[in-house]
């Protein structure tokens, strides 16, 4: 009965994580109520909170220098909260521009203080088909941080080599590719990701932050917006989104059972190769505009020969039980989001559909 879900976020979740939630919904561990009815200061919720943090710590190999935060307001709130915490008068932050989300992050920073574009890969048509190259960077060695968006959800580009930024703290919005493969957390001062793509439902944002960086944050902003407030209270300063965190716990234990991030990377590479392999093979019909070494393993964007065929493709795919393939408003075309919960078999079903569609309409 379940469809194959290629939504860009909120996105499909692994079935075992949902089944576990279903089993535990009315009576969490014999407590006579669901987890969302428990106090966030009670023993039952506390165990879920700690388990979610320890699963993240284990799967990502988070070093002692860093800690996990659960925040709300989505990645969009972080666009504002980051400069609020770290940009003081006279200081400046650098932004590496790869798409709509990095533009939004930069625009918010400019409202708070000084922000610079240190590199951009924007094209004259305002779209993006690659990430900037290191030789295009014009970094400010005095910047308080460098911000990047690790995966561009809308145009389907992804950083495959982290930029060298010297001693400047590196901040990454990893909303759409967090935990798609192992990552060296120690390279980053601040990682943040809305949960609703690879990790769980919307409503919670996961940040992995370097403790000494957080400690440097401004104290002259409202307490609720200071990262140090949330770090000092283990993300329990106010009521956290308990149900969303619980569901992340279920997804993370599924990921652990699957074999962790090394295994997820293998699956994700296999999926990407299947899909891009098909696009390259059928390049007379499908057009994949992103340059090969910037292709995203999470969001593959492509176009059929006409917008009418794009629409017919989406409609026929829906009839075949595959949803979420329509491209983002400003990009058009098709976008297949291949987050962690999408299996290689799901992608096999998609590529055989694509082959047949090209045969019939090419
Ligand atoms: N950054 C990226 C890379 C995204 O893909 C999105 C959402 N699609 C956002 C930020 C915004 O996230 P939210 O809606 O949770 O604020």
User: Mean pLDDT, to the nearest integer, of 214-230?
Assistant: 98
- The encoded tokens of residue 171 equal 């901040």
Ligand 1 centroid, distance to 76 Cα (angstroms):
6
ipTM of the assembly? Answer: 0.99
User: Mean pLDDT, to the nearest integer, of 19-24?
Assistant: 98
Q: For residue 39, give Cα distances in angstroms to 10, 229, 235.
A: 26, 20, 14
Q: Band of the pLDDT at 300, cuts 50, 70, 90?
A: very high
Note the pTM of the prediction, 2 decimals.
Answer: 0.98
Q: Which residue has the tokens 């220098």?
A: 65
Instruction: Tell me if 15-257 shares its fold with 259-361.
Output: no
Catalytic-residue membership of 173: yes
Q: Given this model, what pLDDT does residue 330 score?
A: 86
* Residue range 15-257, CATH number: 3.40.640.10
The dihedrals phi and psi of 114, each to the nearest 5 degrees, come to: -95, 130
- Using the atom order of ligand 1, give the atom closest to the CA of residue 77: 16
- Treating both helix axes as pointing N-terminal to C-terminal, what angle do 43-60 and 242-258 enclose, rounded to 10 degrees? 40
Cβ–Cβ contacts within 10 Å for residue 287, how many? 14
On whether the CB atoms of residues 78 and 208 are closer than 8 A, the answer is no
Q: Which residue has the tokens 């919960």?
A: 341
259-361 maps to CATH 3.40.50.300: no
Is the per-residue pLDDT at 192 higher than 90?
Answer: yes
Q: For residue 87, give Cα distances in angstroms to 123, 160, 359.
A: 29, 28, 55
Strand segments, DSSP code E, in 107-155 are 114-120, 146-149, 151-152
Residues that constitute the known binding site for L-glutamate: 41
Ligand 1 centroid, distance to 204 Cα (angstroms):
12
Ligand 1 centroid, distance to 101 Cα (angstroms):
7
Catalytic-residue membership of 292: no
Question: Ligand 1 pocket test: which of 11, 153, 154 has the largest number of ligand atoms within 8 Å of its C-beta?
Answer: 153
The sign of the dihedral angle between the CA atoms of 214, 215, 216, 220 is: positive
The DSSP annotation for 320-336 comes to TTEE--BPPTTT-SEEE
What digits encode the pLDDT tens for the residues 337-348?
999 999 999 999
Is the per-residue pLDDT at 323 higher than 90?
Answer: yes
User: Mean pLDDT, to the nearest integer, of 94-100?
Assistant: 97
The dihedrals phi and psi of 300, each to the nearest 5 degrees, come to: -100, 125
Cβ–ligand 1 distance for 157 under 6 Å, the answer no
Is the per-residue pLDDT at 189 higher than 90?
Answer: yes
Catalytic-residue membership of 197: yes
What digits encode the pLDDT tens for the residues 103-128?
999 999 999 999 999 999 999 988 99
Q: Given this model, what pLDDT does residue 1 score?
A: 85
What digits encode the pLDDT tens for the residues 58-84?
999 999 999 999 999 999 999 999 999
Q: Given this model, what pLDDT does residue 98 score?
A: 96
- Measured CA to CA, the distance from residue 92 to residue 112 in angstroms comes to 10
Q: Where are the domains of the chain?
A: 15-257, 259-361
What digits encode the pLDDT tens for the residues 134-187?
999 999 999 999 999 999 999 999 999 999 999 999 999 999 999 999 999 999
E strand or H helix at 242 = helix 242-258
Ligand 1 centroid, distance to 322 Cα (angstroms):
23
- Contact residues for 173 (Cβ-Cβ < 8 A; gap 6+): 75, 78, 79, 101, 102, 105, 147, 148, 149, 150, 192, 193
User: Mean pLDDT, to the nearest integer, of 260-281?
Assistant: 98
Residues that constitute the known binding site: 41, 75-76, 101, 153, 173, 196, 238-239
Cβ–ligand 1 distance for 75 under 6 Å, the answer yes
């Amino acid at each position: 009965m379940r469809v194959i879900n290629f939504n860009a976020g909120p996105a499909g979740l692994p079935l075992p994580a949902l089944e576990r939630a279903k089993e535990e919904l009315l009576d969490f561990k014999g407590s006579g109520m669901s987890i969302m009815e428990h106090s966030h200061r009670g023993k039952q919720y506390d165990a879920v909170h700690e388990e979610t943090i320890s699963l993240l710590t284990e799967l990502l190999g988070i070093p002692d220098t860093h800690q996990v935060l659960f925040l709300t307001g989505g990645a969009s709130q972080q666009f504002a909260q980051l400069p609020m915490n770290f940009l003081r008068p006279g200081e400046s932050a650098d932004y590496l521009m790869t798409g709509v989300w990095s533009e939004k992050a930069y625009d918010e920073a400019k409202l708070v203080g000084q922000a610079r574009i240190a590199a951009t890969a924007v094209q004259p048509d305002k779209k993006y088909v690659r990430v900037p190259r290191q030789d295009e960077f014009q970094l400010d060695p005095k910047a308080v941080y460098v911000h990047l968006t690790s995966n561009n959800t809308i145009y389907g580009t992804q950083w495959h080599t982290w930029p060298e930024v010297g001693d400047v703290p590196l901040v990454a919005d990893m909303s759409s590719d967090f935990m798609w493969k192992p990552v060296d957390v120690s390279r980053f001062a601040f990682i943040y990701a809305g949960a609703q793509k690879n990790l769980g439902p919307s409503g919670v944002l996961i940040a992995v932050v370097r403790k000494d960086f957080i400690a440097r944050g401004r104290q002259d902003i409202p307490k609720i917006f200071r990262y140090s407030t949330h770090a000092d209270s283990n993300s329990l300063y106010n009521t956290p989104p308990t149900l969303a965190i619980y569901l992340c716990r279920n997804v993370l234990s599924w990921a652990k059972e699957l074999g962790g991030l090394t295994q997820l990377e293998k699956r994700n590479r296999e999926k990407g190769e299947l899909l891009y392999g098909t696009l390259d093979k059928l390049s007379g019909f499908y057009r994949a505009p992103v340059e090969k070494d910037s292709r995203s393993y999470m969001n593959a964007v492509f176009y059929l020969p006409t917008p009418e065929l794009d629409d017919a493709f989406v409609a026929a795919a829906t009839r075949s039980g595959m949803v979420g393939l329509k491209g983002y408003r400003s990009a058009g075309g098709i976008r297949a989001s291949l987050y962690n919960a999408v299996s290689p078999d799901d992608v096999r079903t998609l590529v055989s559909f694509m082959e047949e569609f090209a045969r019939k309409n090419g």
